Amino acid sequence: MVTPAAPPDLAVRVGTVSLKNPVLSASGTFGYGLEFAPFYDISRLGAVIVKGLSLLPSPGNAPQRIVETAAGMLNAIGLQNIGVERFVAEVAPRLEEAGAVFVANIYGRTVDEYEAVARRLSDLPALAAIELNASCPNVKEGGILFGSSPHGLSGLTRRVRAATAKPLWVKLSPNVADIGSMARSAEDAGADAVSLINTIVGMAVDHKTRRPRLANVTGGLSGPAIKPVALRMVWEACRAVKIPVIGIGGIQTAEDALEFLLVGAAAVQVGTANFRNPNACVEIIDGIRDFLVREKISRLEEYRGGLLS
Ligand SMILES: Cc1cc2nc3c(=O)[nH]c(=O)nc-3n(C[C@H](O)[C@H](O)[C@H](O)COP(=O)(O)O)c2cc1C
């Protein structure tokens, strides 16, 4: 009789944070996590990353805020969110109750505001990490202003680093000339990991009405269209820094996720795919497991970073 082989080990580490698998929900595409509980047990995810939180609630930009494109979407939500206080009081206890590992994505209009949000979240013992959104292209202040120069990014990272003892992941903008030097700035300023990419600035117009399709005129492109750009940037970042790199951009299938892991990503985030298929994240986890079984690989760590030249 053949004894069935033990299931492969999908566990990964992002610095000091241990995750049961490498699949995380990308901020802004998964609500506050609880919205997906009717579809599956959200504790199955490596981690849930919640919509970007600011100090005060924000209604975001005026509509129209989303446009579908040939291979993805453009959004200019403008960081609509319930504010950090409501998150701490109402959402975090429910995520904890659901057994989910959760990470808070944060955003501020000023460095002081970023610091205040990080400080407030530090009181949550169950929070696994803080992800600093230094890269939102859809707000006039903050975000991209800090995230588009190595100097701005390192100043912001240093201040938030000093404000919290939580693991700090810095999310990078792809709208820069040299992603490697941005990743290095975050690392030098004390980031525990970098995550990339955020959306690529794009635009859509209506040739009949002669108007922009988004009220904000420009928006962030996400989805399968950006995957090759994201993969290249993740590969470059992995070669530029020693801290873990989390890969994001156009991941829809287990094969997509495996490609990012192969070039060295410690974990991946799934964003726009959640809109098309609410089960995308768990299907990707199952697909990674099936691949490892077929290839007779007992630990994901044996495969990760193994790109041949
Ligand atoms: C509707 C929408 C809202 C988003 N909101 C945030 C946000 O609040 N904070 C953030 O860091 N990234 C945000 N993002 C960027 C995603 O987390 C992700 O980096 C990007 O969409 C690329 O991944 P994807 O191609 O898998 O969607 C948002 C993306 C979309 C589509």
CB atoms within 10 A of CB 125: 7
Does residue 4 fall inside a structural domain? no
- Could you tell me the residue range of the domain that residue 291 belongs to? 12-63+79-201+224-303
Asked if 157 and 190 count as a contact pair (C-beta separation under 8 A), the reply is yes
Residue 147 predicted with pLDDT over 90: no
CA dist 302 and 262 (Å) reads 10
Asked if 174 and 212 count as a contact pair (C-beta separation under 8 A), the reply is no
pLDDT score recorded for residue 136? 59
Task: Tell me the sheet residues that pair with 74.
Answer: 67, 221
185 — pLDDT class (breaks 50, 70, 90): very high
pLDDT score recorded for residue 109? 87
148 — pLDDT class (breaks 50, 70, 90): confident
**C-alpha angle 28-32-38 in degrees, rounded to nearest 5:** 115
- Cα 159 to the center of its chain, rounded Å: 21
CA dist 122 and 60 (Å) reads 25
Work out how many domains the chain is built from and give that number. 1
Does residue 230 fall inside a structural domain? yes
* Helix pair angle (150-163, 179-188), 10° resolution: 30
Q: Please work out whether the CB of residue 249 comes within 6 Å of at least one atom of ligand 1.
A: yes
Residue 271 predicted with pLDDT over 90: yes
Does residue 219 fall inside a structural domain? no
Kindly report the pTM of this predicted structure: 0.97
CA dist 223 and 110 (Å) reads 29
Which residue has its alpha carbon closest to ligand 1 atom 29? 28
CA dist 114 and 155 (Å) reads 12
213 — pLDDT class (breaks 50, 70, 90): very high
Does residue 309 fall inside a structural domain? no
Q: Please work out whether the CB of residue 222 comes within 6 Å of at least one atom of ligand 1.
A: yes
Q: Phi and psi (nearest 5°) for 126?
A: -80, -15
Does residue 1 fall inside a structural domain? no
Distance 301 CA to ligand 1 centre (A): 27
Ligand 1 pocket: which of 27, 69, 160 to mutate (most atoms <8 Å of CB)?
27
12 — pLDDT class (breaks 50, 70, 90): very high
Instruction: Name the residue type at position 28.
Output: G
145 — pLDDT class (breaks 50, 70, 90): low
State the alpha helices, DSSP H only, in 53-204: 84-86, 92-97, 111-121, 144-147, 150-163, 179-188
Asked if 132 and 157 count as a contact pair (C-beta separation under 8 A), the reply is yes
Q: Please work out whether the CB of residue 179 comes within 6 Å of at least one atom of ligand 1.
A: no
CA dist 283 and 290 (Å) reads 10
Which pairs with CB-CB distance under 8 Å and at least 24 residues apart come from 63-67? Answer: 63/215, 64/213, 64/214, 64/215, 65/214, 65/215, 65/216, 65/219, 66/219, 67/204, 67/213, 67/214, 67/219
CATH for 105: 3.20.20.70
CA dist 141 and 275 (Å) reads 27
State the alpha helices, DSSP H only, in the chain: 84-86, 92-97, 111-121, 144-147, 150-163, 179-188, 227-240, 254-262, 273-276, 280-294, 300-303
**Residue from 49, 55, 118, 136 carrying the catalytic annotation:** 136
Does residue 217 fall inside a structural domain? no
pLDDT score recorded for residue 129? 98
Query: Three-state DSSP class for 52?
Result: strand
Distance 63 CA to ligand 1 centre (A): 17
Q: Return the ligand 1 atom nearest residue 27 CA.
A: 17
Helix or strand run (H / E) with residue 308:
none
Interval 39-71: pLDDT, tens:
999 999 999 999 999 999 999 999 999 999 999
Does residue 277 fall inside a structural domain? yes
Is 281 an active-site residue?
A: no
Residue 141 predicted with pLDDT over 80: no
Does residue 45 fall inside a structural domain? yes
